[in-house]
């Protein structure tokens, strides 16, 4: 059996998401609080009971704008990610768009890595416009070359076969069903605080500014019940307290419910979230 991580790189609109959806069907993975098996966020998992497991990971920032003063750091981290942590690189290009300066940048990053690289020309179903000539010669520096259509699924199987051919032998790296199963513990505290805060912003939007703070006090596993009990508090200036609680507690309930649902989906466990509002 084989298993490993695959970085799918390509500029925005190249068709990465379409390709992933085509490969793993409707299963879309959730960002886990702490991906335990890879240092990247898992985008999708392709499980094949006979051949093994392909984990598609996200390498953030590789196409970041160059006028960003932090661009250097971002490039460095993308480079590092590609160098250190992935088993195969799939570089996806959109043949209906002209090669831009961005492509040279990503090629620069890819060239520094020693792992097998697959060049994928996407959107073969679309005849015009066609800039394939601007990309096809790149195949010389790749280990494999595939023309496919993520939309019509043409040649997807060839891509899967090729990835498996390059993946190392190994055991499954993440739980089945295409979803990484994060375990919540005190290490996830920061993640939970951010997540609850995000839900609060969604529910309260304009009404409440950045004046709130979330603190997770405890995360307790109840293995007999396959349940995790989380206690958290939202701290806010006194003038916002009523707003956050809502009439009859309706707002805080909504916030708690949104956070709880997302966590249940991500962890595949029952979550009990005890969420209170306190003034500070």
Q: Is 61 in the site for ligand GDP (CB under 6 A)?
A: no
Q: Is 184 in the site for ligand GDP (CB under 6 A)?
A: no
Stretch that binds ligand GDP, among 29-37, 48-56, 123-131, 217-225 (CB under 6 A): 123-131
Q: Which structure tokens are listed for 66?
A: 């160059």
Q: Is 123 in the site for ligand GDP (CB under 6 A)?
A: yes
Q: Is 95 in the site for ligand GDP (CB under 6 A)?
A: no
Q: Is 59 in the site for ligand GDP (CB under 6 A)?
A: no
CB atoms within 10 A of CB 165: 14
Stretch that binds ligand GDP, among 6-14, 26-34, 46-54, 255-263 (CB under 6 A): 6-14
> Shortest Cβ distance from residue 38 to ligand GDP (Å)?
20
Torsion of CA 253, 254, 256, 258, to 10 degrees: 160
Query: Measured between alpha carbons, how far is 88 from 116 in angstroms, rounded to an integer?
Result: 5
Residues 163/116, Cβ–Cβ less than 8 Å? no
The nearer residue to Mg ion, 42 or 184, going by C-beta atoms, is 42
> Shortest Cβ distance from residue 18 to ligand GDP (Å)?
3
Q: In what order do the strands lie in the sheet with 52-57?
A: 42-48, 52-57, 2-9, 88-94, 117-122, 144-147
Residues 6+ apart with CB under 8 A from 192: 33, 184, 214, 216, 219, 230, 232, 259, 263
> Shortest Cβ distance from residue 267 to ligand GDP (Å)?
26
Of residues 8-37, those binding Mg ion (CB under 5 A):
16-17
Residue of 176, 181, 164, 11 lying closest to 98 (CA atoms):
11
Kindly list the residues in this chain that would bind Mg ion in the complex (CB under 5 A): 16-17
Kindly list the residues in this chain that would bind ligand GDP in the complex (CB under 6 A): 10, 12-18, 122-123, 125-126, 149-151
């Amino acid at each position: 059996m084989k298993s490993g991580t695959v970085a799918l790189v390509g500029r925005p609109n190249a068709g990465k998401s379409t390709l992933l959806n085509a490969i793993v069907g409707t299963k879309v993975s959730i960002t886990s609080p702490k991906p335990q098996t890879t240092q990247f966020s898992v985008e999708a998992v392709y499980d094949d009971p006979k051949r093994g497991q392909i984990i598609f990971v996200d390498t953030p920032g590789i196409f970041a704008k160059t006028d960003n003063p932090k661009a250097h750091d971002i490039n460095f981290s993308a480079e590092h990610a590609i160098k250190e942590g992935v088993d195969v690189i799939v570089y996806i290009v959109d043949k209906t768009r002209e090669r831009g300066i961005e492509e040279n940048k990503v090629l620069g990053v890819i060239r520094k890595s020693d792992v097998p690289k697959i060049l994928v020309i996407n959107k073969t179903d679309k005849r015009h416009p066609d800039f394939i000539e601007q990309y096809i010669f790149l195949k010389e520096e790749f280990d494999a070359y595939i023309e496919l259509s993520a939309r019509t699924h043409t040649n997807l199987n060839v891509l899967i076969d090729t990835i498996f051919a390059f993946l190392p032998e190994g055991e499954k790296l993440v739980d089945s069903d295409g979803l990484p199963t994060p375990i919540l513990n005190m290490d996830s505290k920061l993640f939970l605080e951010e997540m609850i805060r995000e839900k609060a912003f969604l529910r309260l939007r304009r009404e409440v500014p950045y004046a709130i703070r979330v603190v997770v006090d405890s995360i307790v596993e109840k293995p007999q019940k396959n349940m995790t009990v989380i206690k958290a508090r939202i701290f806010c200036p006194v003038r916002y307290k009523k707003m956050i609680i809502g009439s009859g507690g309706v707002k805080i309930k909504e916030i708690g419910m949104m956070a709880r649902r997302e966590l249940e989906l991500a962890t595949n466990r029952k979550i009990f979230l005890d969420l209170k509002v306190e003034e500070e």
